[in-house]
Structure 1
Amino acid sequence: MEDRKDEINSGKNISEAENPSSETESAQETESNASAQSVSDDGEYHFVRPEQNLYEDAEFVPCGEDTEVPKYYVPSEKKPKDEKPKDKKAAPKSKKSFVKLACACLACALIGGAVGGVVSWKVLDNNNSTPEATSKPISAGTSGSSISSNTGSSTDIYSLGCKQAVGITTEVTTTNWFGQTSSSAVSGSGFVVTTDGYIVTNYHVIEAAYQRNYKVSVMFYDGKTYDATIVGVEEENDVAVLKIDATGLTPVEVGDSESIQVGEEVYAIGNPLGELAFTMTTGHVSALDRKITTNENASAINMFQFDAAVNSGNSGGPLYNAEGKVIGIVTAKYSSTGVEGLSFAIPINDAIDIANDLITNGYVTGKAYLGANIDSRYNSVYANYYKMPEGAYVFSVEKDSCAEKCGLSAGDIITKLGANEVKDFNDLDSAIRSFKAGETADITVYRKGDYTTLKVTFDESKPNTDSNGVNDSGLSSHPQFG
């Protein structure tokens, strides 16, 4: 047994060590089933294991190789109404009631004139104080258009959404072994955030274009289509910003997702199935602070839950409140037979902070970076087998990183970071994300039979160009162990 401990502590890859027995594998299966519970003791909503295929992005619509680029549904020439129709003229009254009617009208006119003057002044005063939309990075409550009253009708919100929501298509070209090319497409949704053409969407909607330099197109309700460039992406939180060459657009007004309450009405406008563009569905906020991991993203993302219908192609679209303000980005749904009405959105406060960084700097600034590559194959089963503590097993340390500078070494097992207990790769990833670049924290490691506390000052995470599985927290996952 001491030989096995030496193999771990010497910093060797776990795959070089002896595999646990079949009994240990059975224990691992039992633990996996336990971790698949959808509601934890702390009330957070955790991802059910990916192999069960229960969560999906409310994502782009992939088309087959023989399928043409999908044609968006083109609405009729009739535009969404901006004004409510005037009341029809009342039928003529009888002569008998004419005198009474005339007197009543005169009295109403005198009173209405006085009141109307006050109301008109208030309306003009409010209009003059309303901040104008600008092309600067967006901020909550100061950018774009919403419903003028506290609550608007669903038709008012739809009319507004048709000016602000967009369809997004990535044209994918593939070449086979014989040199023949074929085209397909993926489709999603997005929304305008500045008058001069910045658009926010989910990263997974334009992932293929970002990774392979494919063409991205943006289409508006009136049928106008623009080529888009990718300004920046934040894969970890599934946010991306596009830019089109256009001016005079109608941006959304950003709401405050911190003030969302369970039960309030929400409206999703997007591009379901890649062809039914500008479809609106309605529902209510169902729950807050859900930690969701999709098949497309290994890191848990903070989202809130709502019950409006969401389908493939809705990803990246706006979720409005009753005031016509955007409070979230439609991102994911719970996918399982017999389960409906479980949809999820990224809170707009989180998304706009990221979008502003992407617009200004091209990447999200201030994120903590450790620089330790973690072998995620080390789990509780291996810990029990080797009589070692649970934690994050350090596979290697990047040269000149803060991990190297603080004394972290290959073979160390990280058991605590700051006040955060670390039992596996995901715990460490979450713990690092609770810090900012430049902050200092204690890091507890198990090394050759003893516990040691180190002090680390985090580096800043920069745009990741490494395709070897190193994520934005400086951790490397090796999920193919077996």
Structure 2
Amino acid sequence: MENNPWNNGSNGQNPYDEEQKDTQQRPSGENPYGSGWGQNPPPYSPYGTPNNYNRYENPYSQPGGQRPWNPYGQYPEKDPNHKMSEGLKVFLWILVVIAIGLVGSFAYFSSHPSLVQDNTSSSSSSSSSASSSFNGTLPKDSNSDSSAEEEVIGGVTGDGTDKNSAGITIQPKPTGTALTASQVYKKLIQSVVGVETTVTAENGQSQVGEGTGIVTTSDGYILTNAHVVNYSKSNAVKVVLHNNKAYQAKVVGYDKTTDLAVLKINATGLSPATFGDANAMEIGEQVVAIGNPGGLSFAGSITSGIISALNRTIESRSKNGMTFIQTDAAINPGNSGGPLVNMYAQVIGINSNKIALTGYEGMGFAIPISKAQPIINQLIHTGYVSGRCRLGITAQEIGSAQAAIFGISGGVQIKSIASDSDVARAGGKVGDIITKAAGKTIETLDDLYAVLEDHKPGDTISLTIVSPAFSDNDTKTIQVKLLEDKGETQR
């Protein structure tokens, strides 16, 4: 988060960060346009009501499979000498309905305890940590799949980096007749993969999110979005090839600022994509997007459109010169990390569907490969991007009730402090709430990220904190030296 074209801040700075303040909910606010984890409702089901676990209740049965009555069986004979008033009948029916509802609710929430828990997101000072919600596609309860377990190939050793890798290269735009969408699809489809990330919450429950990836090299490097792996190297990630072969993937590195991540699988002889130069494209040229909208159930879907704009700036997210490809090709939840392709079957951008605002149609955005190339290659070579800053803490946003107690509008509360962090030396403690950084008001994690992205390792910034240990909610200001982030807090 230093001053360079890739350092777009959060809360209005990082265009790809799912934790956006001025668009939608962020991971604790989820990906506003990507899928994931309880933010986007599951698709309509004619068979029942969708719930947040992407399973459907059966409206025709009661808990335990018992019906309150049997419409096809025999009814007991009535006593001809006994008559029940209509009012009493109605009252008894109401009691029956209430009892059935209470029993059903108790059974349902007993089996889904996370639905009644506070889903507070926890994050590091420079990137979001694994939480129970992130961006990908509709969440799946990892315990709900009753099918036989598929074979998943492992075998990646070490940290996955390769200093000798050529990384990716950008090819010039070909001349001559363009291909049809069908021809482009056939040339590229084997380079498009599914990415499945399992996140385990502190309560032990797991959820699965799905996105898209691009085969970058023949020996198993895969490119995707950082939010698809939930900004973490510790989550379980699986890559599914076009031929349905599944591999356990290692997150080699990711960069929250640019929303890029590199994975490694133990495979050879893959079909890497060909990468092209977005700067050679013109507005109005046809493009296609290939990916897994809605997850692996719709793997390998293709949509087409045109380039709506090049070098598009996105408000303050482009303050450091970051620009994007805008397209009207349909980009849906699950397309994240997949390719935007020209009609010569060259990948010119990485789709990131988090920038679009609610209610807008035909406004998809992609990271230009020409700008992503140096970031991708650094991740392959070293596992991190040089020059990023960190405070060396993990933190979470406070709720409105807690903010009211301290008489503040918001802030981020320190959850842990790393041993090499300068925060503890300066007088900060776990539980302190950061309300200002470098003189700027901090109400969300995005605000804090924005400050870090404006600085470089070695800089000293001020932190204003309020602490439960202070009397009368007094505040104090400390001076903290920033560390270089080599992936330590990006987990």
TM-score, length-normalised on structure 2?
A: 0.52
Greater RCO structure (CA 8 Å; 6+ sep):
2
Conserved 8 A contact 2:307-2:325: yes
**SS of equivalent residue, structure 2 residue 337:** coil
Conserved 8 A contact 2:168-2:216: no
**Any residues of structure 2 matched to 1:196-275 within 5 Å, and which?**
196-205=219-228, 211=234, 213=236, 216-220=238-242, 223=243, 225=245, 227-234=247-254, 236=256, 238-256=259-277, 263-273=284-294, 274-275=296-297
Conserved 8 A contact 1:136-1:194: no
For 1:226-280, what per-residue CA distance to the aligned partner results, in whole angstroms no more than 9, with x for missing partners? 5243142427354332334444444233344577776554320123342343332
For 1:330-376, what per-residue CA distance to the aligned partner results, in whole angstroms no more than 9, with x for missing partners? 23257999653233334435644443233223344432111356563
**SS of equivalent residue, structure 1 residue 160:** helix
Conserved 8 A contact 2:212-2:338: yes
**Any residues of structure 2 matched to 1:175-214 within 5 Å, and which?**
187-205=210-228, 211=234, 213=236
| Cα deviation, residue 219, structure 1 | 1.7
Aligned in 2, Cα 1:399/1:209: closer, same or farther, shift over 3 Å? Answer: closer
**SS of equivalent residue, structure 2 residue 274:** coil
Which of 390, 401, 421 pairs up with 1:369? 390
Aligned in 2, Cα 1:396/1:278: closer, same or farther, shift over 3 Å? Answer: closer
Aligned in 2, Cα 1:423/1:198: closer, same or farther, shift over 3 Å? Answer: closer
Conserved 8 A contact 2:254-2:262: no
Structure 2 residues without counterparts, runs of 5 or longer: 1-10, 36-134, 151-162
TM-score, length-normalised on structure 1?
A: 0.53
**Any residues of structure 2 matched to 1:2-41 within 5 Å, and which?**
none
**Any residues of structure 2 matched to 1:336-415 within 5 Å, and which?**
339-349=360-370, 351-372=372-393, 376-377=397-398, 386=407, 398-404=418-424, 407=426, 409=428, 415=436
Conserved 8 A contact 1:70-1:185: no
Which of 165, 182, 195 pairs up with 1:136? 165
Please name the residue that 2:335 is paired with. Answer: 314
| Cα deviation, residue 431, structure 1 | 1.3
In 2, Cα distance between the equivalents of 1:185 and 1:376?
Answer: 24
Please name the residue that 2:191 is paired with. Answer: 164
Which is further off, 249-258 or 276-285? 249-258
| Cα deviation, residue 302, structure 1 | 8.3
**SS of equivalent residue, structure 1 residue 436:** coil
Please name the residue that 1:99 is paired with. Answer: none
Please name the residue that 1:46 is paired with. Answer: 22
In 1, Cα distance between the equivalents of 2:490 and 2:30?
Answer: 26
Which structure has the larger Rg? 1
In 2, Cα distance between the equivalents of 1:321 and 1:361?
Answer: 30
Aligned-partner residue type, residue 297 of structure 2:
E
Please name the residue that 1:148 is paired with. Answer: 174
| Cα deviation, residue 318, structure 1 | 0.8
- Bigger share in helix: 1
Conserved 8 A contact 1:231-1:358: no
Please name the residue that 1:440 is paired with. Answer: 459
Please name the residue that 1:284 is paired with. Answer: 306
In 2, Cα distance between the equivalents of 1:452 and 1:63?
Answer: 44
For 1:18-53, what per-residue CA distance to the aligned partner results, in whole angstroms no more than 9, with x for missing partners? xxxxxxxxxxxxxxxxx99xx9xxxx9932245799
Please name the residue that 1:329 is paired with. Answer: 350
Aligned in 2, Cα 1:462/1:280: closer, same or farther, shift over 3 Å? Answer: same
| Cα deviation, residue 206, structure 1 | 5.0
Which of 418, 421, 431 pairs up with 2:440? 421
**SS of equivalent residue, structure 1 residue 55:** coil
In 2, Cα distance between the equivalents of 1:189 and 1:217?
Answer: 9
Conserved 8 A contact 1:289-1:304: no
Which is further off, 376-385 or 355-364? 376-385
For 1:299-341, what per-residue CA distance to the aligned partner results, in whole angstroms no more than 9, with x for missing partners? xx98654321123432321112345432322232579996532
Aligned-partner residue type, residue 192 of structure 2:
A
Which of 30, 34, 57 pairs up with 1:56? 34
Conserved 8 A contact 1:303-1:344: yes
Aligned-partner residue type, residue 46 of structure 1:
D
Please name the residue that 2:482 is paired with. Answer: 458
Aligned-partner residue type, residue 483 of structure 2:
D
Between the two proteins, what is the percent identity of the paired residues? 30
In 2, Cα distance between the equivalents of 1:70 and 1:267?
Answer: 34
Which is further off, 444-453 or 59-68? 444-453
In 1, Cα distance between the equivalents of 2:415 and 2:30?
Answer: 29
**SS of equivalent residue, structure 1 residue 59:** coil
In 2, Cα distance between the equivalents of 1:373 and 1:66?
Answer: 33
In 2, Cα distance between the equivalents of 1:379 and 1:171?
Answer: 30
Structure 1 residues without counterparts, runs of 5 or longer: 1-34, 72-133, 178-182, 294-300, 465-470, 474-482
For 1:120-151, what per-residue CA distance to the aligned partner results, in whole angstroms no more than 9, with x for missing partners? xxxxxxxxxxxxxx982424525xxx763277
Conserved 8 A contact 2:293-2:333: yes
In 2, Cα distance between the equivalents of 1:364 and 1:424?
Answer: 27
Aligned-partner residue type, residue 188 of structure 2:
G
Aligned-partner residue type, residue 361 of structure 1:
T
Please name the residue that 2:111 is paired with. Answer: none
Aligned-partner residue type, residue 56 of structure 1:
G
In 2, Cα distance between the equivalents of 1:376 and 1:358?
Answer: 29
In 1, Cα distance between the equivalents of 2:410 and 2:231?
Answer: 37
Conserved 8 A contact 2:356-2:365: no
Aligned in 2, Cα 1:140/1:380: closer, same or farther, shift over 3 Å? Answer: farther
In 2, Cα distance between the equivalents of 1:292 and 1:48?
Answer: 16
**SS of equivalent residue, structure 1 residue 315:** coil
Please name the residue that 1:85 is paired with. Answer: none
The two structures, once aligned, show a CA RMSD in angstroms of: 5.2
